[in-house]
């Protein structure tokens, strides 16, 4: 049973460019959350997708957008990249049907984004 997979593992982009990160959830999971983790810090919640809709959003600008597909996989898009967007981007999947939140989340290995 494959866990959460993210691609790519590493990425280097230039300031002002756009980037798309991808996530496939663990089999059977229907909810995907995205996090940004700066070096030495804890993960910061970007947003969560359930039933192809953004269910909740953290304190991130509109440059950060996402999408969830019918097969529950998800993309994170970041436009107009800034140097400060350099971080590890983590995807986590969980079971969210019915609003049930007392379930553990499974994390992917992350995408290391460097903006130069």
Partner 1 sequence: SQQGEEDPQALSIQEGENATMNCSYKTSINNLQWYRQNSGRGLVHLILIRSNEREKHSGRLRVTLDTSKKSSSLLITASRAADTASYFCATVMAGGFKTIFGAGTRLFVKA
Report the alpha-carbon distance of residue 10 to residue 41 in Å, rounded.
Answer: 19
Of 48, 88, 82, nearest to 66 by C-alpha is 48
Among 48, 68, 74, 93, binds partner 1 (CB under 8 A): 48
The Cα 99–Cα 19 span in angstroms is 30
Closest CB to partner 1 among residues 66, 108: 108
Label residue 3 exposed, middle or buried (CB < 10 Å: 0-12, 13-18, 19+). middle
Q: Return the number of the residue (17 or 109) whose C-beta is nearest partner 1.
A: 109
Q: Which is nearer to partner 1, 14 or 59 (CB)?
A: 59
User: Which of 72, 68, 108 is closest to 88 using CA atoms?
Assistant: 108
Binding mask 53-72 for partner 1 (x = CB under 8 A): --xx-x--------------
The residue within the footprint of partner 1, chosen from 2, 14, 28, 39 (CB under 8 A), is 39
Site residues (vs partner 1, CB under 8 A): 4, 33, 35, 37, 39-45, 48, 50, 55-56, 58, 88, 90, 92, 96, 99, 101-110
């Amino acid at each position: 049973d494959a866990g959460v997979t993210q691609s790519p593992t590493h990425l280097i982009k230039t300031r002002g460019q756009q980037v798309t990160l991808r996530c496939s959830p663990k089999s059977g999971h229907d909810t995907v959350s995205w996090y940004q983790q700066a070096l030495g810090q804890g993960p910061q919640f970007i947003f969560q997708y359930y039933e192809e809709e953004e269910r909740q959003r953290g304190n991130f600008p509109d440059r950060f957008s996402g999408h969830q597909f019918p097969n529950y996989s998800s993309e994170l898009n970041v436009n107009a990249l800034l140097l400060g967007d350099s971080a590890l981007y983590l995807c986590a999947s969980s079971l969210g049907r019915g609003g049930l939140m007392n379930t553990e989340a499974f994390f992917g290995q992350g995408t290391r984004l460097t903006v130069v």
